Amino acid sequence: MDQKSRNELKARLEFYRELGIESFYRRSPAPKSDLRPAPTATNEAMATQPPQPTDPGANPEIVRAVIQIPKPIMPPQKLNLFEPAEPSAAPRENETLEQIREDLGDCQRCRLAKTRKTIVFGQGNPKAELVFVGEGPGADEDEQGLPFVGRAGKLLNRMIEYAGMKREEVYICNIVKCRPPMNRVPEKDEIEACSPFLFRQIAAIKPRLVCCLGAPAVRTLLGIKEGITKIRGQFYDFAGTKAIATVHPAYILRNAREEHILREDFEKIRDFLKRK
């Protein structure tokens, strides 16, 4: 497969992932035809008839044992990549973001440490009313050590301003602090290793609203597995505060005509925060 085809396939998979479709399976090919001669009518009839007991009074259990009922073929079960993560270490009372970052240290808790360049902890107002949670750092974020500084970050900045705020007023982070190779979806064990720090960040900030950007953030924080387009724009109870789900800005970059989705959801964010 050439590089162009790889890029097109990657873009298509990311598009499906934002819609909540995260696993696929391929049907097994039909078995090759048997090259043996077709059985005669007599032989076929004999092959399909179960052996009969020679004695009419024979035990009927023998007959039932001979007749084999084929088991139904069950389709592959969809693999749930995300389960609601629970912090392995409960948030500490009056903990600060600086203390959490110090506790994180030069994290080696999962395999992402081997391929990352920089830990992307988070950025913004430590007492923000609004916290954004994305999926994971990308290439630009991995280089700079800051969340949402690439193309998706520029779109997020524009949406924040659309809601009447500035980036400096909010707090932005991700469910994992290190970039997954090739920007793949974080795996379950990686999320389990990193999400306790995310929960502690949110507990330290005490925001009025948490905005989940994309399906992975929704599933990690809220445990909701429905497609993001079905549950976006709705408010949910979360850890003593409220949360709202919307699509990831990267999805809009691939589908520019869908930008109205972000605008609609950010209008709801703006209206919510205006209600004191």
Tens-digit pLDDT profile for residues 152-180: 999 999 999 999 999 999 999 999 999 99
Mean pLDDT of 110-131: 98
CATH number of 97-274: 3.40.470.10
Which regions of 6-157 does DSSP assign to beta strands (E)? 123-124, 130-134
Query: Hey, what are 106's tokens?
Result: 């030069």
Strand 171-174 vs strand 235-238: parallel, antiparallel, or unpaired?
A: unpaired
Tens-digit pLDDT profile for residues 39-78: 444 444 444 444 444 444 444 443 333 334 333 333 333 3
The reported pLDDT for the residue numbered 21 is: 52
Quick check: helix, strand or coil at residue 153? Answer: helix
Domain assignments of the chain as residue spans, ordered by start? 97-274
Cα(136)–Cα(165) distance, integer angstroms: 23
- Overall pTM surpassing 0.75 (yes/no): no
The strand pairing partners of 209, in sequence order, are 130, 242
Do 134 and 173 touch, CB atoms closer than 8 A?
yes
Compute the C-alpha angle 217/11/246, nearest 5°: 30
Tens-digit pLDDT profile for residues 225-275: 999 999 999 999 999 999 999 999 999 999 999 999 999 999 999 999 999
Nearest 10 degrees: CA dihedral of 167, 194, 86, 252? 40
